[in-house]
Amino acid sequence: MAKYVLKCVECGKEYEDDSFRLRCDEDHEPALLRTIYRKKELTVKDELPGMFKFADYLPVGRVIDCMGAPLTYKSERLGKYLGLEKLYVIFNGYWPEKGAFMETASFKELEAPSVLARVPKDCGKTIVVASAGNTGRAFARICSENGLPLVLVIPQQSADQIWNTKPFSDSVKLILAGGNSDYFDAITLAGKLVGLNGFFPEGGAFNVARRDGMGTTVLDFAATVGEVPKHYFQAIGSGTGGIAAWEAYLRLAEEGRYGNGCMTLHLSQNHPFVPITESWADRLPEIPASDPESDKMKITETCAKVLTNRKPPYALRGGVYDVLCESSGRTYAVTNTEAYRAMSIFEKFEGIDICHAAGVAVGSLMQAVENGIVASGDLIALNITGGGERKVKTDYDLHYLEPIACFSDGEIGGRDAVHKLEALFAGV
Ligand SMILES: [Zn+2]
C-alpha cells in the first residue's frame, strides 16, 4: 500500500497515485487533488539528500540527488530593526556559510526534486516543463544532475535565465518560443509536445508533488522552531506557494506536536500587476477578466517578473481564494521602490543578497509592521524565495543551455508546429 492517497478537495473522491494524475475524474468545477499521508507523524530524516529529509510529507517513492533544502533561522538584526522579537527567515537560495545550497538561488529547487521523484525511475517518458525562468532553471539543473530526460520550453527572451554551475547533461533539451513570445506561448508549444507519445506535462499547481515540495518551507520552520508560525509572509505569482504553505500547515495541525495556533497567510504581489491582491481586497471569488494588452503593460513595469502570472489558480476549489478564506489571509501590493528598499535593508542586516520577489515579501512585512497588523511578540515566518544569486555568480562560472530549436510566433499557433516537434524527437 502506498504511503498516501490523492483526495479531491471538491468531492472527496480518493485515488491511489499512478504517478501522473493531476485531476479528479468526476464531473464538477475545477478542483485540486490533495495528498493525504497515511502516517501522520512527521520524522525529519537528515540522512536523506536535501529536501527529502521531509520525505514523510512528499508524494515520492524514491529520492534523487539534490542539495537544496529550506533553511530557517532567527533573524536578530532585521527583527530588531522592525521591532519584531520572533522573526524567523526561511531562506531558500545559495548561502553556503549558513548551510544553504540551492545553486539556482531559487526556491523552485524545492519543486523539481519532488515532481521528478514522484515518477518511477525508467518510466520511459520525458517530462515537459514550460517556464518563464526560475522554474525552468531548477528543472534543468536537477534533471541534468540526475541524468533524467527533460524538455524545457521557454520564451526566447528568458533564455539567459537557464544557467547552471556545471555543464548540462545531454538528457536536458531546450526549445525556445521565439520573437515576442511570452510565457503563454511557451505553454501553448509545450501543450503540443505533451500530445505526442512519450511525453508528460509537469502540471503546475495541479501537481501535488510540486505543492508538497514547496510546502517544506513550513515544515522546516516547524521542525526548527517547534511550532507553526502565527504569520506566514510570501510573495506570489500564481499563488501556488501560498496554497502549498497552507496545506503543509493543515498537515502539521493534524500531526499535533507543533501547537494549536492558526497560521495567517500574508501573500504579496508587485505593483502595478496585482490581480490576486486586488481580487482578495474585494473578497471576489474569481479574478475579473482583464485586457491582456493592459496586463502586459503593467507587467513590463514590475521589477519582480516571476510574480506576474496572468492565469493564477485562484478561483478553483482548494485554490488561492479558498486558502485565503481558511487562513483569514491578507494580500499586499508592494511597489518597485518599496521592493528595492526592502532588498537593500535585508542585505544590510542579514548579509546576503535577495531576489526582487523576496524583496516584495520583505516589503509586505514592513507594511504589516507599519499598519499594526503584526505585533512585536508574534511568531513570524518570512519566506525568502530566492537569494544568493550574486554570490553564485561570484563563486562559479555559469554554463548556459543551448537550444535545439526555436519556433517563431507564427509557427507556434500553426499546424506545422506538431510536425516540427515530431521531426525533432524522431528516434529519440
Ligand atoms: Zn472530485
CA 248 to centroid of ligand 1, rounded, Å: 21
The pTM of this model reads 0.96
pLDDT-based confidence at residue 36 (cuts at 50, 70, 90): very high
**Residues 373-376: contacts with CB under 8 Å, at least 24 apart:** 373/266, 373/330, 374/84, 374/231, 376/83, 376/84, 376/85
Q: Residue 8 Cα, ligand 1 centroid: separation in angstroms?
A: 5
What is the CA(331)–ligand 1 centre distance, in A? 28
Tell me what pLDDT residue 427 has. 66
Q: What is the mean pLDDT of the chain?
A: 95
Does 310 share its domain with 404? no
* SS3 assignment, position 199: strand
Q: Minimal CA–CA distance to 248: which of 25, 17, 101, 51?
A: 51
Whether residue 55 lies inside any domain: the answer is no
Residue 162 belongs to domain with CATH number: 3.40.50
Query: Could you tell me the distance, in angstroms and rounded to a whole number, from the CA of residue 326 to the centre of ligand 1?
Result: 20
- Angle value at C-alpha 84, between 80 and 85, nearest 5 degrees: 90
Could you tell me if 214 and 331 lie in one domain?
A: yes
Q: What is the pLDDT of residue 43?
A: 97
Ligand 1 geometric centre to CA of 10 (Å): 5
Q: How far, in Å, from the CA of 275 to the mean position of ligand 1?
A: 27
Separation of CA 32 and ligand 1 centre (Å) = 8
Per-residue pLDDT of 113-130, as tens digits, reads 999 999 998 899 999 999
Measured in Å, residue 34 CA sits from the centre of ligand 1 at 11
Q: Is residue 52 part of a domain?
A: no
Q: pLDDT at position 132, please?
A: 77
Residue 26 CA to ligand 1 centre (angstroms): 5
Strands 231-235 and 379-387: parallel
CB of 221 closer than 8 Å to CB of 72 = yes
Q: Name the domain count of the chain.
A: 2
Q: Hunting for cell 509557427 — which residue is that?
A: 411
Q: What is the pLDDT of residue 215?
A: 98
Comparing 214-218, 265-269, 378-382, 407-411, the range with the smallest average pLDDT is 407-411
Stretch 318-324: mean pLDDT = 98
My answer on whether 190 and 95 are in the same domain is no
| 29 CA distance to ligand 1 middle (Å) | 8
Other CB atoms within 10 A of residue 224 CB = 15
Cα(241)–Cα(218) distance, integer angstroms: 10
Q: How far is the CA of 106 from the centre of ligand 1 (A)?
A: 33
What SS3 class is residue 104?
coil
The residue range of the domain holding 75 is 71-106+209-392
Pairing outcome for strands 330-334 and 71-74: unpaired
Round to the nearest angstrom and report the end-to-end CA distance of the chain: 34
Instruction: Evaluate whether 345 touches 304 at the Cβ level (below 8 Å).
Output: no
Please check the confidence at residue 184 and state whether its pLDDT lies above 90: no
Q: Does one domain contain both 171 and 263? A: no
Ligand 1 centroid from CA 5, angstroms: 13
- Quick one: 295 and 378 in the same domain? yes
Are 266 and 219 within one domain? yes
Pair (238, 372) in one structural domain: yes
Neighbouring CB atoms inside 10 A of 200's CB total: 15
Query: 78 CA to middle of ligand 1, Å?
Result: 44
Work out the pLDDT band at 206, boundaries 50, 70, 90.
Answer: very high
- What pLDDT is recorded for position 428? 59
* 135 sits in which H/E element: helix 134-146
> Are 367 and 421 contained in the same domain?
no
Distance 270 CA to ligand 1 centre (A): 34
| 358 and 224 assigned to the same domain | yes
On whether both 254 and 307 belong to a single domain, the answer is yes
- Is the pLDDT at 174 greater than 90, yes or no? yes
Distance, in Å, from the CA atom of 424 to the CA atom of 153, rounded to the nearest integer, reads: 14
